[in-house]
Amino acid sequence: MNYSVLASVYHKEKPEYLKLSISSILNQTVPTNDFVIVKDGPLTAELEEVLQYFKERNDNINIISLTHNVGLGQALNAGLKACKNKLVARMDTDDIALESRCELQLLEFEKDPSLDIVGTFMYEFLSDPAEITAIKEVPTTHNDIYQFAKRRNPFNHPTVMYKKDTVLNNGGYSTMRRSQDIELFTRLLFKGSKGKNIDKPLLKFRTNENMLKRRKSWDTTKSYIKVILKSWKMGYASFTDLMYAIVLQFGMMIIPIQIIRIIYKKFYRK
């Protein structure tokens, strides 16, 4: 079964991370015949050099160039339209996919053709991919995913493989600069899309000390609440779910980052 891979890169990303990310996709046990990489605006010379290196050696790489930075969601929409296959695997350009990731996701679609989205658990690491700091788990069955999405993101976005037409026919990613992934997933689930998560980590997610700081920002807080508010207005999330999201997000802004770090390790990671 053929599948596409969709990634987006912008000028602030590091060339050495991009190399590892692309290599991990090219080394999949079931290789892709269509690796779409969107350049979200002009890149540095170093990033361009990495893309050129892989492009010259791999005829399955398709590079889409955008004239200016439009943000992840809109960049992914542009790339998604260019994907050749019905199934599309998302990939971030600083993460590392395990070799069997795409093969195992394809098997899930083969076993259950009614699935629209298949994600996985993921490892987290700081600088050395060999030193795992945590495992981020998400609900695995459709019913649990449907309920979980009323308050929190039910998928690890960089791990998902989804049906191209399901996403595009439902409007694709929104214009939001943040939280565009959970906005898409809640919209798809509410409209009847079926999801599943594989109960094992199949991707190494690069994190850093600034991640929690970004999640404490007003922009992140505002966008997340906006998503749950929209979910409530369309009849998906309850008023209790909305209040939970508001309290949680404002709590994240108020609580010192040292305390948040402890909470994450104890309740949100393994």
Whether residues 143 and 261 fall in one domain: no
Q: Which residues of 37-72 are buried (b: 16+ CB within 10 A; e: fewer)?
A: bbbbbebeeebbebbeebbeeeebbbbbebeeebbb
How much is the pLDDT for 2? 95
Whether residues 38 and 139 fall in one domain: yes
- Strand ranges inside 108-261, DSSP E: 117-125, 132-136, 161-163, 195-206
Q: Which SS3 state, helix, strand or coil, does residue 248 take?
A: helix
Whether residues 83 and 21 fall in one domain: yes
The larger pLDDT score, comparing residue 268 to residue 235, is at: 235
Least confident of 12-16, 58-62, 256-260: 256-260
What mean pLDDT is predicted for residues 23-43? 98
Structure pTM? Answer: 0.91
The CATH number linked to 98 is: 3.90.550.10
Q: Residue 229 is part of which domain span?
A: 209-270
Whether residues 197 and 233 fall in one domain: no
How much is the pLDDT for 214? 62
CA distance 172 to 187: 10
How much is the pLDDT for 242? 93
Whether residues 47 and 151 fall in one domain: yes
CA distance 263 to 14: 30
Least confident of 64-68, 113-117, 153-157, 209-213: 209-213
Domain boundary among 208, 227, 243: 208
Whether residues 264 and 146 fall in one domain: no
How many structural domains is the chain composed of?
2
Whether residues 156 and 198 fall in one domain: yes
Residue pointed to by tokens 């190494």: 204
Whether residues 115 and 172 fall in one domain: yes
pLDDT at 183 over 60: yes
For 197-210, the pLDDT digits (tens) are 999 999 999 987 66
Do residues 91 and 85 lie in contact, with contact meaning Cβ atoms separated by under 8 Å? no
Whether residues 213 and 163 fall in one domain: no
Whether residues 225 and 142 fall in one domain: no
